[in-house]
Amino acid sequence: MVNLNTDCCRIDVSIQASLAYSVYESFDMEVIQDDDYDVCLGMLISSLSEGERVARVLGDKRALLLRDHGVVVVGESVPHLVMGAIYLRDNAAIQFNAILLGNPKYLSYEEGRQATKVMTSALSLERAWTYWVARAKKAFPDLLVNED
């Protein structure tokens, strides 16, 4: 489900693999974990004060894992947000499977930074976004997509 307006974008993706990160303490430096959100609210961010607290915890990171619940992903544009959500999901599944196989070899901090730089370049983002829009149009022919 995608809800778009000029202020925000909410994307629900399959996050089961991403949840593996919230119970495993070794993950990318751009993703942080929040164990302290208010579970009395049904594990939802449903108040302005809780939303502000989560935003403070997120800081300048791209994703925040809410323990036993889900993930918040942010981006400077809708394409950046979609890329972050999809790559978090896909990379979590890859890492999870690598852990199951045993002795995974992780990227170094610098390797991760360089990979992020390449993957989020204007050209990479444009190609990925074009692909995802084409897939969405094929799966949902009645979907209205703003091409701007």
Q: How far apart are CA 40 and CA 130, in angstroms?
A: 41
Residue 65 neighbours by CB distance under 10 Å: 25
Mean pLDDT of 130-141: 90
pTM for this model (two decimals): 0.71
The arithmetic mean of pLDDT across residues 106-117, rounded, is 85
Q: Would you call 21 helix, strand, or coil by DSSP? A: helix
Whole-number percent of the chain with pLDDT over 70? 66
The Cα 45–Cα 38 span in angstroms is: 8
pLDDT tens-digit series, residues 50-88: 788 888 888 888 888 877 677 888 888 889 989 988 888
Assign 128 a pLDDT band (cuts: 50, 70, 90).
very high
Residue-level pLDDT at 1 = 41
